């Protein structure tokens, strides 16, 4: 049985500046598409601002509770803990949550793009200056930001890890307990378990030499070169089963 403990603040828990302060200059009318100089910003409505991009004003949303507002005499603050994909942004690597809280966003080349889906029960949330993306549940191929980050597949039938920016199935969890994740608040961690006591030939696996029983119980399986292979047949009446007494898998090789 695969077991793995991971920090709770995981999977793209990155710092986001909620009230970004910019220099405010008093020249010209500030509206989307208007001519501007580098560094110019302004507020167009209570929850919308503009910033200078390639010589023209581009829009950025300020959907947080304090919106877009002038701060002091020469500064503007845009509160943007939430945004939509494609919204403008002028701080590279700035982060936010989508309006529906299902994805985390990151600022790339002056636009917010999805950094990773947040399919866990808590979705995407903001806490102070931190964006937390709950991706303890995901699908193979989903984007992720931290190498080795663990997740359960949404159907709980597989265990996955973040590899090169995407979730990849690394272990099947066909046993009755499937793939589970339990929060441990006292330790600020999440505990993952993958019940791989039952396997199918070709299933991915992580622990070389680890044993299991086949789906029909007629063979003892083993993890070999990161895939499940048949170790030996178990044609006897007891077939293949896990023994609590010996803490190992036993194979009845006696023919009926």
Cα–chain center distance at 246: 38
pLDDT at 74: 58
Check: pTM over 0.75? Answer yes or no: yes
Strand partners, 190: 6, 183
CA pair distance 213, 207, nearest whole angstrom = 15
- Secondary structure of residue 1 in the 3-state scheme: coil
pLDDT at 72: 65
Q: In the chain, count of helices (H) and strands (E)? A: 0, 26
Is the distance from CB of 168 to CB of 143 less than 8 angstroms?
no
- What string of DSSP letters covers 191-214? EEEE--SEE-TT-B-SSTT-EEEE
DSSP character at residue 185:
G
Report angle CA 87, 91, 93 to the nearest 5 degrees. Answer: 90
The CATH number of the domain covering residues in 14-133: 2.30.130.50
pLDDT at 55: 92
Each domain of the chain, given as residue ranges in start order, spans 14-133, 205-256
pLDDT at 223: 97
Is the distance from CB of 42 to CB of 30 less than 8 angstroms?
yes
pLDDT tens-place values along the chain, 256 residues long: 544 544 444 433 333 333 343 434 333 467 888 898 888 888 899 999 999 999 999 999 999 999 998 876 656 888 999 999 999 998 899 999 999 999 999 999 999 999 999 999 999 999 877 899 999 999 999 999 999 999 999 999 999 999 999 999 999 999 999 999 998 777 678 899 999 999 999 999 999 999 999 999 999 999 999 999 999 999 999 999 999 889 999 999 987 6
pLDDT at 73: 63
Lookup result for tokens 């399919």:
119
pLDDT at 256: 63
pLDDT at 81: 93
pLDDT at 190: 87
Is the distance from CB of 228 to CB of 201 less than 8 angstroms?
yes
């Amino acid at each position: 049985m695969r077991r793995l403990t991971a920090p709770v603040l995981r999977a793209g828990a990155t710092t986001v500046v909620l009230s970004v302060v910019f220099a405010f200059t008093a020249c010209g009318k500030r509206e989307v598409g208007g001519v501007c100089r580098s560094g110019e910003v302004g507020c167009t409505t209570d929850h919308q601002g503009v910033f200078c991009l390639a010589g023209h004003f581009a829009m950025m949303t300020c959907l947080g509770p304090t919106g877009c507002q002038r701060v002091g005499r020469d500064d503007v603050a845009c509160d943007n803990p939430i945004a939509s994909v494609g919204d403008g942004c002028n701080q590279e690597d700035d982060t936010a949550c989508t309006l529906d809280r299902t994805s985390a966003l990151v600022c790339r080349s002056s636009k917010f793009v999805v950094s990773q889906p947040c399919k866990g029960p808590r979705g995407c949330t903001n806490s102070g200056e931190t964006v937390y993306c709950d991706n303890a549940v995901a699908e193979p191929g989903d984007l992720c930001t931290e190498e080795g980050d663990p997740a359960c597949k949404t159907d709980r039938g597989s265990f996955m890890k973040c590899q090169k920016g995407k979730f990849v199935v690394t272990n099947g969890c066909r046993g009755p307990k499937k793939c589970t994740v339990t929060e441990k608040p006292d330790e600020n961690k999440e505990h993952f378990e993958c019940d791989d006591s039952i396997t199918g030939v070709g299933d991915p696996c992580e622990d070389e030499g680890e044993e299991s029983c086949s789906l029909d119980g007629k063979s003892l399986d083993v993890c070999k070169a990161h895939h499940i292979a048949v170790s030996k047949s178990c044609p006897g009446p007891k077939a293949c089963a896990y023994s609590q007494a010996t803490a190992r898998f036993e194979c009845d090789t006696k023919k009926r």
